[in-house]
Structure 1
Amino acid sequence: MIRIELDEGALGATRIAMSPLRDAFCALHLALPSRNPSWPYQEWVGPAREVWREDDRLRPLRDLLAHRPGVSDVLLPRPVGTADVYEELDLLRATDPALVRARIADCYAGLEDAPFLRPYLTDPEAACAALADAYAAWWEGAIAPYWPVMRRLVEDEVLVRARTFATEGIDALFTGLEARVRWQRPVLELTKWVEAEYAAGERRLVLVPMVFAEGCRLYSTDDPEVLTVNFQARGAAALREGAERAASVAEDRLGLLLGRGRAAVLRELGGPLTTQGLADRLGLAPSTVSEHLSLLAGAGVVTRHRVGRSVYYQLTDTGRSLLALLAGEGVLGAIA
């Protein structure tokens, strides 16, 4: 169990940021032969494992993970909120050499003489450059084809969580984060196999939503100023093939009443989503989803609101009641 005590200053400084590099790191763990990923990742994991096994450019990552699968900020720099993984890789390349030596010595204590570690101690700049190149190869082979969909899911999550924080406060943000996180003011508890406690005022908190978080909830402690906690973004089901998704929509009373397309849109609206976000999750054309949403909004079961240039849709009380009565689904806490 990890206990993080947050005083008013730390709560006020809490922020939410995306990090494609952290998603790529968690995806690495899901692709390891010892893992058995759940259904949203099964279409992805076969080709990803081929990249992991066969691309020799990934050797620096394979060596580090083979000897210590945990997390160090040498592997994962502080999230800066960018959607560009190459910007994060530039930060990795620019890591202070003294910091690299210190963290490698700490994380891999007793292995300092191992050939795969020696470059980090003798030529940290070159070692970090090789590690960044390994990440880039993994990204291009296993993540990049999915990133347009992933990016929309994570950006939606950031906007929705930020809006929750701004309108309902930190209690609502933490309470709705996910099952393995428990908030009892002033302590945030994370269910992990390690034991750790952090006193109030030590560091500020950064929350990072990810698509590939299944079974790999990360928290990073090397940074003296920031605690980074990653959590599962809604919508991992978007990694499934569209045909599988369409076939999974059962012919029930809701589908018979509204049609399968509109019923699927209604089911997916467990939280605010854009038209494109719904289209990604359902494997439908955005124009089709837009038509369904217009009809549902006209019937009073869906409402819309604008955040910046994006329009978000969510269920009204009537929509929730309709789902509860006809589909028998508890949609208020639904997480994909």
Structure 2
Amino acid sequence: MVYRIHFTVQDLARTRVAEAPMPLHELELAARALQSRSQPARLDAWRHRARAQLSAQARVALALMPAVGCSPGFLSPTKVGAVEELLEQVRSTPRERVRANLQETAHCHPSLPAWTRRLADDASLFAELCTGLSDLHTCLLAPHSAQFTESLAVDRTLRLQQLLTGGVEQLLTQANPQWMRWNPPVLEVRMVNGADRDLYLDGEGFLLIPSMFCTRAIVTDGRPVSVSYPACPDQCPSELTALASVPGQARSSGVSMLLGRTRTTVLATIAEHQGCSTKELATRAGIAPASASEHATVLREAGLIRSLRHRNSMLHSLTPLGLVLLNASGGGREAV
């Protein structure tokens, strides 16, 4: 069964990719992935570690975010912002909205815990839920925030390249072909819960949200309607066990290979022109394409850049570790 999302010309013109992370929306996707059994090779190590760290309050919040089905909209707004600010917005949610969201959720999630009936009117219970949401973020998402930001940046580079070379049609066709099919003017999204529905955008546009934890396609029926999908799954780590590199790791043996003028120029060029192709990198750095490709390979193997193939080109972006090295060396082309 599928969701059929109907586009008008205005909707196609207003189709876009999320420009920055949406922490609480990603937290909901992480909560779903935690309770799912999909992608065991990539996620089971993370699941095992996270489950062992869940607080009682975090489990309260988790109860409202099932692996399949809907959850109350006030818990996971599709908004960009600092986690603390977004959590404060959740805490100040009007009780009328809490009550309405829970009623909507009960229609597709009949096994909601009995305590949810008191949630809108019990201030202490609602405060416990909000504390649990914060704890859940600390456990599931915070340790991987650098990976999350990097993964979204790499995926956004690819999607913008698709938009430039093939327009909205290529973007919608290639974003998540396993779960989404573009059948103009309708985007069909396969649903694991058997839902069958038509959604009309009515000129308000459409948002694609890349996600590190999403394992399929998740439709959010808001304004605008959005679909979350796995960000560059072939580029993600095989399992979410290693945390992002920290400044103290910047002078590892791999990085010591990079202490040369030309390679620093290449790294700085990529930092200034995220998503540049090897040909563009060579032109901007003033070196031969073969040399640019060789230096990019060394930088990639050292974990300083990430490269993504798009058609016949390789697109290069800086990683957090690459940024650390540039900051430590002064970031300029004359630094070493």
- Does the pair score TM above 0.5? yes
Percent of residue pairs bearing the same amino acid type: 19
**Structure 2 unaligned regions, length at least 5:** 246-251, 280-288, 291-308, 315-336
Pick from 38, 41, 61 the counterpart of residue 39 of structure 1: 41
Aligned match of 1:25 in 20, 24, 28? 28
User: How many positions carry a matched residue from both structures?
Assistant: 274
For 2:46, give the aligned amino acid: W
Q: SS of 1:89's equivalent?
A: helix
Report what 1:151 is aligned to. 149
Q: What CA deviation, in whole Å up to 9, does each residue of 1:201-251 have, x standing for no partner?
A: 164322111100114x21112x3x321210111232164567xxxxxxxxx
1:185 is aligned to: 184
For 1:121-175, what per-residue CA distance to the aligned partner results, in whole angstroms no more than 9, with x for missing partners? 324x665543332121011123211111221111332344245435642112112
1:167-246 equivalences in 2 (<5 Å): 168-179=166-177, 180-193=179-192, 194-201=195-202, 203-215=204-216, 217-221=217-221, 223=222, 225-234=223-232, 235-237=235-237, 239-240=239-240
Matches within 5 A, 1:49-198: 49-52=51-54, 55-65=55-65, 69-77=69-77, 79-82=78-81, 84-109=82-107, 115-123=114-122, 128-165=126-163, 168-179=166-177, 180-193=179-192, 194-198=195-199
TM-score of the two chains, using structure 2 as the length reference: 0.66
Aligned partners of 2:24 and 2:75 also within 8 Å: no
The 8 Å contact of residues 152 and 210 in structure 2, kept in 1 or not, is answered as yes
3-state DSSP of counterpart to 2:228 = strand
Contact 1:100 1:121 in 2 (8 A): yes
- Cα 1:311–1:226 change in 2 (3 A) is closer
- String of CA shifts for 1:37-58, please: whole Å, max 9, x gaps: 3322233221111123xx1121
Contact 1:30–1:36 (Cα < 8 Å) also in 2: yes
1:311 pairs, out of 270, 274, 293, with 274
Distance 1:314 1:130, change over 3 A: farther
Letter in 1 for 2:51: R
| Structure 1 unaligned residues grouped into runs of 5+ | 243-275, 277-282, 298-303, 320-330
Residues 241, 139 of structure 1: alpha-carbon distance in 2 compared, 3 angstrom cutoff: closer
Q: Is the 8 A contact 2:32 2:66 kept in 1?
A: no
Quote how far apart the aligned CAs of 1:61 are: 1.6
Match of 2:93, SS state, is coil
Matched-pair contact (CA < 8 Å) for 2:23–2:80: no
Look up the equivalent residue of 1:191 and give its one-letter code: R
Which whole-Å deviations, capped at 9, do the CAs of 1:174-195 have from their partners, x for residues lacking one? 1220121111221111111311
